Amino acid sequence: MTSRSVRKVTESVEQSEGEGDGTTIKRCLGDDVSDIVDPFLMLDEFTVNPPTGFPDHPHRGFELVSYILKGTGQHEDFMGNKGKLKTGDVQWLTAGRGIVHCEWSYGEEKAHGLQLWINLAKDQKMQEPSCQEMLAEDIPRTSKEGIEVKVIAGEAFGIKSTIRTRTPTLYLHFTMNEGTTLNQPIPKGWNAFVHVLSGKALFGPESKEKLVIPTQTAILNAKGDCVIAQNQGSDPCSFILLAGQPLNEPVAQQGPFVMNTEEELHQALEDYKSCINGFERANSWQSNFQQSNS
């Protein structure tokens, strides 16, 4: 197998536009590189301070994956889904033709996690919205030669996730002990990147390795059918590996709407304002969080 090399290493950038009340957002991956990581649109690492969060807001045309690393968050949407996401839990939300939801903190502990945006193909953008949730204890996990993996989507170390991905996606959370080496297959033609959460590791083939540390994201080259990672440090290294099948379609994005053309973006905005074509329930719905903070 041929290991992919690291194409580019980026630093997470703290966002200053106030995307959520009482929140800290560090953008690990954004529109400046989205053309080379298709179908991925964005990866944020967030911290939500009680009792704040993200008030009611819409989405259309893509999927949102929320992974809670520590603490507890709450969520509610106009389809009737609501509940808590605790440490290690995952929510895989398909916005499709339209959804309005709210996310906020719970209790007194900060909620820390990741949110990933995955684009949907043109012929899937207007599907009915849906929500998949997986509790931490239900995420498939295993260990091999000092390396633990949690399989959020796809397959690794012979185990598979039950999450249904509309856009074929691999979402793996690895923890590598000191002195371990990982050789993880990546489907040919898929775009891939890694984001380090703690510790540090070398990524890439021999003599071309690049060291990646926390707050950094390494975008991998398209050539190769695996990635090699080595932990030569004294502490465990925790990182996520994401890979996806590119859509190779035009992307038109404005805030929470991701479509293929400017005309479709305009239509999405008008549909939301008029509460039609998928946003009908937005006309009379308001989250408990929004009501208590109005």
Query: 46-69: per-residue pLDDT in tens?
Result: 998 887 888 899 999 999 999 999
Asked if pLDDT for residue 19 goes beyond 60, the answer is no
Alpha carbon separation from 174 to 99, 143, 183, 236, 254 (Å, rounded) = 32, 9, 12, 10, 33
Q: Which tokens in the block code for residue 58? A: 């819409």
- Mean pLDDT on 23-51: 90
Q: Which tokens in the block code for residue 293? A: 């903070």
Q: Dihedral of CA 204/206/209/213: which sign?
A: positive
| Residue 266: exposure state from Cβ atoms within 10 A (0-12, 13-18, ≥19) | middle
**From the centroid of its chain, how far is CA 132?**
14
More confident residue, 258 or 107: 258
Which pLDDT does position 17 carry in this prediction?
53
Domains and CATH numbers, the chain: 6-244 (2.60.120.10)
- Fill in the amino acid letter for 67: Y
Asked if pLDDT for residue 21 goes beyond 80, the answer is no
Classify 89 as helix, strand or coil: coil
Residue 104: pLDDT band by 50, 70, 90 thresholds? confident
Residue 82: pLDDT band by 50, 70, 90 thresholds? very high
Asked if pLDDT for residue 191 goes beyond 80, the answer is yes
Which pLDDT does position 50 carry in this prediction?
81
Asked if pLDDT for residue 132 goes beyond 70, the answer is yes
Which pLDDT does position 48 carry in this prediction?
87
Asked if pLDDT for residue 225 goes beyond 90, the answer is yes
Residue range 259-282, pLDDT digits in tens? 999 999 999 999 999 999 999 999
Which pLDDT does position 18 carry in this prediction?
47
Question: What rounded mean pLDDT belongs to the chain?
Answer: 93
Alpha carbon separation from 24 to 40, 52, 111 (Å, rounded) = 21, 11, 10
- Mean pLDDT on 100-125: 92
Cβ–Cβ < 8 Å for 178, 233: yes
Residue 20: pLDDT band by 50, 70, 90 thresholds? low
Asked if pLDDT for residue 193 goes beyond 90, the answer is yes
CA-CA distance, 78 to 227, in Å (whole number)?
A: 40
CB neighbour list of residue 167: distance below 8 Å, 6 or more residues apart = 39, 63, 118, 119, 120, 121, 124, 244, 245, 247
Which pLDDT does position 92 carry in this prediction?
97
Q: Is 0.85 surpassed by the pTM of this model?
A: yes
Which pLDDT does position 294 carry in this prediction?
64
Q: Which tokens in the block code for residue 117? A: 């945006």
Other CB atoms within 10 A of residue 27 CB: 20
Which pLDDT does position 6 carry in this prediction?
98
